[in-house]
């Protein structure tokens, strides 16, 4: 008795494709489970924040990056992280005159592949996960920032634009009672 062997011609699944598929399912489930779109937006940002806290260690270990010298250096390193974790490299643009605010412009956003937002969810900030991840990662390296979506391809804009604003440098905190 002989066994017939079958060869499967499977395409290699990219990490970003896996993220796209699972992220879409996660957001769909959150929409079903939560009362308002605003609750979903907050939860996506919180989830991203928690991911950013953990991703920064991996990023620093893989790149051997040292402390950022200024906000421009920080923007360059975040740009590298986009390439590492999402497979896209955004443009850094729209610096404020004070140099404390800039934007990431994504021509393509792997999180939004194959996604359409229905009219009743027009207030959904589908990519809020990215904003939270930026905030969480930078907080772990003692930078407090705000991050928000300015333009969204899912809402008809040509690009996805994520704005980052430096708030302050955080001091290294020692636990109470330890000197």
In the chain, the domains with their CATH numbers are 35-169 (3.30.1380.20)
More confident residue, 110 or 104: 104
pLDDT at 170: 86
What predicted TM-score, i.e. pTM, was given to this entire model?
0.84
pLDDT at 7: 43
Mean local confidence (pLDDT), 41-55:
95
The pLDDT of residue 31 is above 90: yes
56: left (phi over 0), alpha (psi -120 to 50) or beta: alpha
pLDDT at 8: 34
pLDDT digits (tens, 9 = 90+) for 157-177: 999 999 999 999 988 654 455
Rounded to the nearest integer, the mean pLDDT of the chain is 85
pLDDT at 34: 95
pLDDT digits (tens, 9 = 90+) for 106-131: 998 888 887 888 889 999 999 999 99
Listed residue (88, 68, 67) closest to 79, CA to CA: 88
């Amino acid at each position: 008795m002989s066994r017939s062997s079958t060869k499967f011609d499977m395409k290699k699944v990219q990490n970003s494709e896996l993220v796209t598929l699972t992220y879409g399912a996660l957001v769909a489930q959150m929409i079903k489970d939560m009362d308002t779109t605003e609750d979903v937006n907050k939860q996506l940002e919180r989830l991203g924040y928690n991911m950013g806290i953990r991703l920064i260690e991996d990023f620093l270990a893989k790149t051997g990056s040292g402390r950022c010298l200024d906000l421009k250096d920080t923007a360059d390193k975040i740009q590298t992280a986009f390439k590492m974790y999402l497979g896209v490299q955004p443009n850094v643009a729209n610096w404020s005159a004070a140099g404390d605010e800039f934007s990431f412009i994504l021509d393509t956003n792997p999180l939004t592949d194959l996604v359409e937002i229905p009219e009743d969810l027009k207030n959904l900030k589908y990519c809020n996960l990215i904003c939270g991840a930026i905030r969480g990662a930078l907080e772990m390296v003692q930078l407090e920032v705000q991050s928000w979506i300015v333009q969204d391809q899912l809402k008809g804009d040509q690009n996805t634009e994520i704005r980052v604003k430096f708030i302050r440098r955080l001091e290294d905190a020692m636990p109470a009672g330890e000197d």
